[in-house]
């Protein structure tokens, strides 16, 4: 199915199942421990043995020699895989570093060997016996130090630099100016389920049970790395314990499990330790961002400039922190630029809302600072500079844009009128109270997506697609889609996901998963409707599907009758044509935060948070709310505590576990509220939906930083906003006896 224009009659608009707050159909499996994750697939193949990854203990250099004798002689050891024994390996499209290093070492904890043994304990113990002699080379590990040598990126987005009008002239002439620099640190995905895989070979074909968000991408990368045809690779990933972008691409665990299984002739399972997850896999790169805003005295932006510096391994791509600045606010004269420094740290790559999440951490503080210079309310300032078209391409409108409504709805619900415009003026005993706001923006992407649907003689519809569920509720919204289109109760739909033997879907990433994958299921179900009607001798154009029946006029036939002589199976996919050229598709929101800051210790406590989201049709309000409040908690972590600390001498992340790398949890935030604006966007897909899981994190950190400034009068531009930074800046004195 090619989606160009909205259908005049759309069965998804019935709203009997879709759009309702259904419980997750995989919930009972998750809560009872019955949903098997990759490392727990003890049932899939007998005789599993264990691999333990040996990571490089230098960040850059060469392996002079590797003494494996003691490790090979250790109890239970079956074999050891190294770059020398594995033979020539390729490199996947989505990995910057080689997944098995040697003799060159590209980053700390790069995998350089896999020890395979009968038990995990034996493999781990033997791995400690591997002796490696390195020739260390000097490396670059400090973004600030490498900033001046950063260059325009050779890979990544084509619009590394953009220019509209005369930014330099307009900024110089602006009566009110802001020129400020903000920094964001490296972040870890820190998902609950580690990177883990089980691999087994049958002849020249490998099957890998793994934890991966994008099955088709993963198949391609495994095939390229192992130098085998794609048709010889099967990936299975039905349940994933969180990804946040860290599992978009296959990692060391999958490739080494396959190499280990081939080497010892047994199924091999590999689980990365938590420190290996932090230093061996990907992370969100640190940024340095310079914002320059120029405005008229009445608050109209005339110049918007946003420059960002980030780092990655050689051949990597930048953090696209300027993306939202190209589209969020009006302004006749604009400039954005990205520069990439080569750093010898572990690979930087996608993490929840890459680009917009760190970009809004800077832009939305800058907007607050500019509003204060203009003596305007921060919400009023944002509304004043709204735009309904792409500022760089005025002929291309937003398909829908309700940023103003998000801000106004949130202000009313949150009690924004009670905010004191004077910083550090509201107190409750020793606590200083502040409110902050930030706009939320995330682009909406459409990806080709397919599915296979089958009707059986019991009237049950089974959906098969390689789409993944990373904890977002994909099983449920796909079931809801099929139930709505086929006129069935939810209980009459079965969903199978995460297997490369199924039709290729959009996958889970970039906030495109829900809308695109359900649209693919919609396309397949519409084809099944046509097949069923034809089989029953009914006019497909007139057939109505409801309550388990197919009806044309007064003729009603049970859906199951169409499959009385055998199952009916069809496949289809959806493609989106040139929609992205016709419309700027985006999601919008507003985040409101109230904080209390202890006047003596500078401890920051979030009291309450509100997110207002405009993201098309909400397919399941219950699971969507769960996604947004989780994203809000993640944004709180980015604002107040999350920072991968770089050892700038040796080139690794020091706090590489969940004891040293602190993340926010829901208990840190007493009250969270989410409002979804009533909205359907007919230009996005037949589902009229958009993504929302990443929108929920965009702008959160800035809203918290702005609230902290409102409480204390201290502006922190370097994340995370920690109490030591407030104390060093000099907390305002407070009379505790007043």
Catalytic annotation, residues: 694
Residues forming a β-bridge with 55: 111
Best CA proximity match to 249, nearest among 318, 343, 347: 347
Closest by CA position to 599, among listed 432, 434, 442? 432
**Measured between alpha carbons, how far is 4 from 603 in angstroms, rounded to an integer?**
53
Please give the Cα distance from 106 to 343 (Å, whole number).
10
CA 458 – CA 477 distance, rounded (Å): 22
Q: What is d(CA 478, CA 497) in angstroms, rounded to the nearest whole number? A: 10
Q: How far apart are CA 515 and CA 126, in angstroms?
A: 47
Number of residues that this document lists for the chain? 738
Laid out side by side, the sheet with 544-546 consists of 544-546, 549-552, 555-558
358 Cα distance to chain centroid: 13
CA nearest neighbour of 691 among 445, 453, 503, 428: 445
* DSSP annotation of 492: G
Contact in structure between 296 and 269 (CB atoms under 8 Å): no
Going by DSSP bridges, is the β-strand pair 449-455/568-574 parallel, antiparallel, or unpaired? antiparallel
Alpha carbon separation from 324 to 320, 360, 401, 587 (Å, rounded): 9, 7, 14, 11
Residue 329 and residue 385 in contact, taking contact as beta carbons nearer than 8 Å: yes
Helix, strand, or coil (residue 220):
helix
Alpha-carbon gap, residue 172 to 293, rounded angstroms: 10
Q: Which of 315, 321, 301 is nearest to 386 (CA)?
A: 301
Task: Indicate left, alpha or beta for 471 from its phi (over 0: left) and psi (-120 to 50: alpha).
Answer: left
Q: Which two tokens stand for residue 563?
A: 């499959």
**Torsion from C-alpha of 475, 476, 480, 483, nearest 10 degrees:** 60
CA distance 147 to 664: 30
């Amino acid at each position: 199915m090619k989606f160009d224009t909205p259908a005049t009659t759309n069965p998804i608009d019935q709203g009997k199942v879709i759009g309702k707050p259904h419980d997750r159909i995989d919930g009972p499996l998750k809560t009872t421990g019955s949903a098997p994750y990759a490392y727990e697939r003890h049932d899939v193949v007998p005789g599993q043995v264990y691999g333990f990854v040996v990571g490089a203990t230098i960040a850059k250099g060469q392996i002079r020699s590797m003494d494996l004798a003691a490790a090979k002689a250790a109890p239970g050891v079956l074999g050891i895989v190294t770059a020398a024994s594995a033979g020539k390996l390729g490199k996947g499209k989505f990995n910057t570093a080689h997944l098995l290093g040697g003799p060159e070492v590209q980053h700390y904890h790069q995998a350089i060997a896999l020890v395979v043994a009968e038990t995990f304990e034996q493999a781990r113990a033997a791995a400690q016996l591997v002796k490696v002699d390195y020739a260390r080379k000097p490396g670059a590990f400090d973004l600030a130090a490498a900033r001046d040598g950063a260059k325009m990126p050779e890979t990544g987005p084509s619009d590394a630099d953009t220019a509209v009008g005369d930014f330099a002239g307009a900024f110089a002439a602006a009566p009110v100016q802001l020129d400020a620099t903000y920094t964001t640190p490296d972040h870890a995905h820190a998902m609950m389920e580690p990177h883990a895989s089980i691999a087994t070979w049958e002849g020249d074909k490998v099957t890998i049970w793994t934890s991966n968000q994008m099955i088709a991408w993963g198949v391609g990368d495994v095939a390229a790395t192992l130098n085998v045809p794609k048709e010889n690779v099967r990936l299975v990933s039905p349940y994933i314990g969180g990804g946040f972008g860290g599992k978009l691409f296959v990692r060391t665990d999958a490739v080494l499990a396959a190499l280990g299984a081939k080497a010892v002739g047994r199924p091999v399972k590999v689980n990365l330790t938590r420190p290996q997850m932090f230093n061996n896999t990907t992370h969100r790169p640190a940024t340095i961002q310079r914002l320059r805003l120029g405005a008229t005295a009445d608050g109209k932006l005339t110049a918007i400039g946003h420059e960002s510096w980030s780092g990655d391994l050689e051949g990597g791509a930048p953090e696209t922190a300027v993306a939202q600045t190209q589209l969020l606010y009006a302004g006749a004269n604009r400039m954005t630029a990205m520069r990439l420094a080569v750093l010898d740290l572990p690979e930087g790559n996608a993490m929840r809302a890459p680009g917009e999440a760190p970009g809004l951490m800077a832009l939305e503080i800058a907007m607050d600072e500019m509003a204060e210079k203009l003596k305007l309310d921060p919400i009023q300032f944002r509304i004043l500079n709204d735009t309904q078209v792409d500022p760089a391409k005025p002929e291309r409108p937003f398909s829908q844009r309700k940023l103003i409504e998000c801000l106004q709805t949130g202000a009313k619900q949150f009690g924004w009128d009670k905010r004191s415009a004077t910083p550090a003026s509201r107190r409750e005993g020793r606590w200083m109270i502040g409110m902050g706001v930030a706009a939320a923006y995330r682009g909406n992407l459409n990806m080709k997506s397919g599915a296979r649907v089958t009707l059986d003689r019991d009237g049950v519809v089974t959906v098969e697609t390689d789409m993944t569920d990373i904890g977002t509720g994909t099983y449920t919204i796909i079931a809801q889609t099929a139930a709505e289109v086929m006129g069935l109760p939810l209980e009459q739909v079965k969903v199978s996901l995460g297997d490369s033997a199924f039709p290729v879907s959009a996958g889970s990433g970039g906030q495109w998963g829900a809308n695109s994958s359900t649209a693919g299921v919609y396309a397949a179900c519409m084809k099944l409707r046509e097949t069923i009607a034809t089989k029953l001798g009914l006019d497909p154009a007139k057939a109505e599907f409801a309550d388990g029946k197919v009806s044309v006029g007064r003729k009603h036939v049970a859906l199951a009758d169409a499959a009385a002589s055998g199952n009916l199976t069809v496949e289809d996919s959806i493609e989106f044509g040139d929609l992205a050229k016709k419309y700027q598709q985006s999601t919008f929101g507003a985040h409101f935060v109230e904080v209390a800051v202890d006047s003596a210790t500078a401890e920051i406590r979030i009291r309450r948070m509100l997110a207002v989201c405009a993201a098309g049709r909400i397919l399941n309000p219950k699971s969507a709310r769960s996604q947004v409040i989780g994203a809000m908690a993640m944004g709180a972590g980015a604002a107040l505590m999350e920072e991968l600390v770089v050892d700038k001498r040796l080139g690794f992340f020091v706090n590489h576990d969940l004891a040293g790398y602190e993340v926010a949890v829901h208990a840190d935030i007493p009250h969270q509220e989410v409002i979804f604006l009533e909205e359907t966007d007919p230009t996005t897909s037949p589902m009229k939906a958009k993504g929302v899981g990443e929108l929920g994190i965009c702008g959160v950190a800035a809203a918290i930083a702005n609230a902290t400034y409102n409480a204390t009068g201290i502006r922190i531009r370097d994340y995370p906003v920690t109490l030591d930074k407030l104390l060093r800046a000099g907390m305002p004195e407070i009379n505790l006896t007043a």
